[in-house]
Amino acid sequence: MQDLFTSFSLQVNNRVYIKNPESSALGRKIVESSINLIDEVGFEAFTFRKLGLEIHSNEASIYRYFESKYKLLLYLTSWYWSWMEYRIAFGLANIPAPEERLEKAIKLLTENIELDGSFEHINEYKLNKIVIAESSKSYMTKEVDQNNKEGFFAGYKQLVGRVSDIILEINPTYKYPHMLISTLIEGAHHQRFFAQHLPRLTDAVNGEDAIIEFSKEVTFKAIGAKWPIK
């Protein structure tokens, strides 16, 4: 993948940043180190001052890229959903059966993410941990309607829409495709967090990824499709 798409870069709504961080070395460094730092200290304790110290740059310089740490978080989550859509687009290419496409999409959406190295300055493994633990803080705010109007959640909504469409291909009468998919995406994230920190809220099963299995099974049974597929 690296070799084929070295210059590939993902689109993020340009209103979440003041200056595109992809456009300069400092910008990329800000993104790269913000992922490390948020992963390390958590979003609450993360500040632009600390980030500036970490990258031997200046707080004021960071503010020229992002209006606030919330906008930076929105940037990271938007990037993540855009990346996820690209993963799914490639992962589902040339699979004709909608059942198989749905199964694959759910796997891609709910699996544990590993470092994949396609993007120099983005650690997908840590970004996934941030999305799991912090992304709800990017929309569970009083500014959600304003942010939504500006299109900050477009990537996420589009992704949910695409997967819902596969469900409707399989069962055109299913009434709750968006609910099902958004519930399972958020649910899988919560389950990964719980598995680490509040295991009594989950059910670990040896030798399989219970979260993926659970998600697939729930989906296919909910929409009344055959499970397992074959």
Task: Give contact residues for its own copies (rule: CB under 8 A).
Answer: 41-42, 44-45, 133-134, 136-137, 139-142, 144-145, 148, 153, 156-157, 160-161, 175-180, 182-184, 186-187, 190-191, 193-194, 197-198, 200-203, 205, 210-211, 214, 217-218, 221-222, 224
Q: Which of 69, 104, 162, 190 binds DNA (CB under 7 A)?
A: 69
User: Segment near DNA (CB under 7 A), from 63-71, 102-110, 129-137, 165-173?
Assistant: 63-71
Could you tell me the smallest distance in angstroms from the CB atom of residue 19 to its own copies?
A: 25
State both tokens at 160: 């949910």
For 38, 85, 169, 208, the CA distances from 176, given in Å and listed in that order, are 35, 21, 13, 28
Could you tell me the smallest distance in angstroms from the CB atom of residue 3 to DNA?
A: 27
Q: What is the signed CA dihedral for 172, 103, 116, 54, rounded to 10 degrees?
A: 60
User: Pick from its own copies, DNA, none: which does 177 bind, CB < 5 to 8 A by kind?
Assistant: its own copies
Given CA atoms 75, 77, 83, 89 in this order, what sign does their dihedral have? negative
Which is nearer to DNA, 87 or 121 (by Cβ)?
121
Cβ-based neighbours of 216, under 8 Å, separated by 6 or more: 103, 106, 107, 227
Could you tell me the smallest distance in angstroms from the CB atom of residue 7 to DNA?
A: 17
Per CB under 7 A, does 137 bind DNA?
no
Closest CA to 28 of 75, 87, 67: 75
Could you tell me the smallest distance in angstroms from the CB atom of residue 182 to its own copies?
A: 4
State both tokens at 120: 């120099």
| Binding residues for DNA restricted to 17-56, rule: CB under 7 A | 19, 24-27, 45, 47-50, 56
Could you tell me the smallest distance in angstroms from the CB atom of residue 230 to its own copies?
A: 19
C-alpha angle 108/42/117, rounded to 5°? Answer: 40
Which positions touch DNA (CB under 7 A)?
19, 24-27, 45, 47-50, 56-61, 63-64, 67-70
